[in-house]
Structure 1
Amino acid sequence: MEYKFGDKVISLLKEQGKTKKSLYLHLGMTANGFEQMLENNTFSAVRLAQIAAFLDVDVTHFYDLPVRQSEQVEASSYLKETLNRLEASFARQVEIKDSQIAGLQRTIDYLTGGGQLAQKSFNGPVAMTEDEPRVIKLNSKNKGLKTA
């Protein structure tokens, strides 16, 4: 089976209002090289993919392949399933990030005066009470760390 890629390329260019020059410049070709490729129908798979991308069509557009209805249905259900999984995953990630943001906000509130520890001076050792979290005392005389 012979495919007439050149005819389809020219047809798509006309439909989209694009020029041959814009395409061959996009491909990094000369005008003569591009015209020879069209006339001789000598398209490599890479060139065809580049042309398809430029024309915003699937590369299969250049082939006369019948599209079976069952394949379209399978693809459609697969895409819906994939989108549903992505949406669920995204929702879980948003919940995690919201939780992290809430934790960071609590830390900021605590450090900016919302908690008892933020109101104390850190110049000297910090005394522990039973209702405060475990704090590491800084002992400037011994240059060591002691845990309370």
Structure 2
Amino acid sequence: MGSWGVGPFDEDTAADFADGLDDVALEEREPIVRGALERAVRAVGPLGYSAASEALAAAAIVVAQCPGGAPVPANYGPREPIPQLPYELRGLALVAIDRVLDPASELAEAWDETEHARRWRQGVGRLRDVLDPPVSAGQGSLFEL
């Protein structure tokens, strides 16, 4: 795993995904983000490393546009503007994050073999919490079925 930190863009595949967004026209960026999320959600069986890494990066981009979401890091995230993303990508990003966090996900497996697994899972959990905030007793979740 070529990583240098626990953030969603702190590894080779995610940084390449961000660079790819910078290389296309503005109107092509939303379909690329959506595609990464959809590939993760629709994958059959355990989520592969690259698909998980790209989905996590795409989810971080979605979260950055949510109230309470952290901005995309300028060092390895996309440097070019991302258009306002459709609201429905939030639910897709939430499901994609859950697929990334699944113990069978190759990205989760790779992180779980490191001393930084807990920090990585906490960071991904913070992204998830922006999309589906923890609720207090008596309140329902935004994405509750």
TM bucket (normalised to shorter chain) is under 0.3
Looking at secondary structure, tell me which structure has more strand per residue.
1
Looking at secondary structure, tell me which structure has more helix per residue.
1
Higher RCO (CA < 8 A, seq sep 6+) = 2
Superposition TM-score, scaled by structure 1 size: 0.19
Who wins on radius of gyration, i.e. which is larger? Answer: 1
